[in-house]
Amino acid sequence: MDFPDRDDIGPLIEPQGSPSFARVSYDPPTSTLSDPLSTTRSELDRLAFDDLESGATIAVGVGSRGIHRIADITAETVSYIEDRGFEPVVVPAMGSHGGATPEGQREILAALDLTEEYVGAPIDARMDVEKLDAVDVDGATTPVYFSSAALAADAVLVINRVKPHTNFTGSLESGLCKMLAVGLGKQRGAQAFHSTALDRGYVPTIESLVEAIRDSVPLLGGLALVENFHEEIGAIEAIDGPSLERREPALLERAREEMATLPVDDIDLLVVDELGKEISGAGMDTNVIGRYRVLNAPDPETPSIDLIYARGLTEATSGNGNGIGLADITRRAAVEQLDLKKTYANALTSGSLSKAKLPAVVPDDELALRVALNALGGYDPETVRVAWIENTTDLAEFRVSEALLSD
């Protein structure tokens, strides 16, 4: 596809003075777990490993997020399982990510240092699933699919970060329950889940599927990770299978209180250097940018951001630009990074089609800013409120226009 170049766009919008920018730091009080690997072992002691026979295989489900020390924590979990006399196998629990292929899911894990060599266990990335049951979610019959690789093991354990989700709010959002219901359902299970959740609600769908999974799967439980403002591990807690839905909401509230957000709510233009699946399921954390763009789910009330300019994709996202549609403007360099097969596999499975749309594409930064500032209407470089961030995870240091400094 040919996009307009400078000669096409330049004459349409007159050059204008840019606002002055300042670099600011944002460091709210928070705490970091001093020894997450030791805590991993002590928490795993709380799960019912004694109920398993010696030599049993344990499927360890891990996802596609760039969680602090996720490779180390997974490797420590694998080591613990082996020390207890069991056989671990790592199973990607990420739905349709990686283009819904075994190779793509292995590639995502490798980008997070989750390789067989590093974690010390084989990785079974098969996309095959088995249908466990069909559940009723407020009158909608939903099939329950689960990874064949995980079902081949004698027990299942999942590791995931608990945090606010990018599509909805509720008592259960991103975490262990959703990883069981969606991530280990692979593409087929993820598609079935989202089809019902978009219509009947995410939380009731998660609850119904987790209950059905628990009835059919030898579920040990999970290792819940909570990150602080600096995206470092603030807490690790093992939750046994029967307690997942009861315990996760409290951890979610802690994550919500500590998550990285912008220190102001009213912004004219947000410039984001990079988006990617390891940063957020939506490429950009929707709780930071204030946009869900999901049917039957209203956008967050805050923050209020008029325009978003997304400049590019992370290397680790491997071309999956799901979430670029949350921006209003992007540049040609970002589009050239896109792998539309991976992007569409993600968007079509989740049903969040708007996240795969292309925003207005311009040749370079100068024209992108010119287009954005013009679109704001009544532009004044002294009063325009602009924030410029690297991504929606790293918010400890960024740039703001002069009008935001007092805030």
Question: Is the CB of residue 297 less than 8 Å from the CB of residue 252?
Answer: no
Where do the domains of the chain lie, and which CATH numbers do they carry?
A: 6-26+263-404 (no CATH), 36-258 (3.40.50.11440)
Helix (H) or strand (E) holding 248: helix 244-258
pLDDT at 231: 86
Helix (H) or strand (E) holding 289: helix 286-289
Q: Is the pLDDT of residue 132 over 90?
A: yes
Per-residue pLDDT reduced to its tens digit, 14-25: 888 889 999 999
Q: Is the pLDDT of residue 154 over 80?
A: yes
Per-residue pLDDT reduced to its tens digit, 323-339: 999 999 999 999 999 99
What is the C-alpha to C-alpha distance for residues 266 and 404, in angstroms, rounded to an integer? 9
What is the C-alpha to C-alpha distance for residues 305 and 282, in angstroms, rounded to an integer? 17
What is the residue-averaged pLDDT of the chain?
94
What is the C-alpha to C-alpha distance for residues 143 and 192, in angstroms, rounded to an integer? 7
Q: Secondary structure of the chain: what % helix, strand, coil (to 5)?
A: 40, 25, 40
Tally of CA atoms within 13 A in the half-sphere of 86 that contains its CB: 24
In this prediction, residues 335-345 reach a mean pLDDT of 93
Closest CA to 316 of 109, 95, 62, 92: 109
In this prediction, residues 137-143 reach a mean pLDDT of 94
pLDDT at 303: 93
Q: Is the pLDDT of residue 219 over 80?
A: yes
In this prediction, residues 294-299 reach a mean pLDDT of 74
pTM of the model: 0.78
Assign 336 to helix, strand or coil: helix
Res. 95 pLDDT band, cuts 50 70 90: very high
Query: Token pair 């939903």 is at which residue?
Result: 142
Q: Is the pLDDT of residue 295 over 80?
A: no
pLDDT at 48: 96
Closest CA to 90 of 180, 136, 158: 158
Q: Is the pLDDT of residue 289 over 90?
A: yes
What is the C-alpha to C-alpha distance for residues 117 and 245, in angstroms, rounded to an integer? 34
> Other CB atoms closer than 10 Å to residue 28's CB: what's the count?
12
> Other CB atoms closer than 10 Å to residue 343's CB: what's the count?
25
Percent of the chain with pLDDT over 90: 80
Q: Is the pLDDT of residue 172 over 90?
A: yes
Q: Is the pLDDT of residue 166 over 80?
A: no
pLDDT at 29: 84
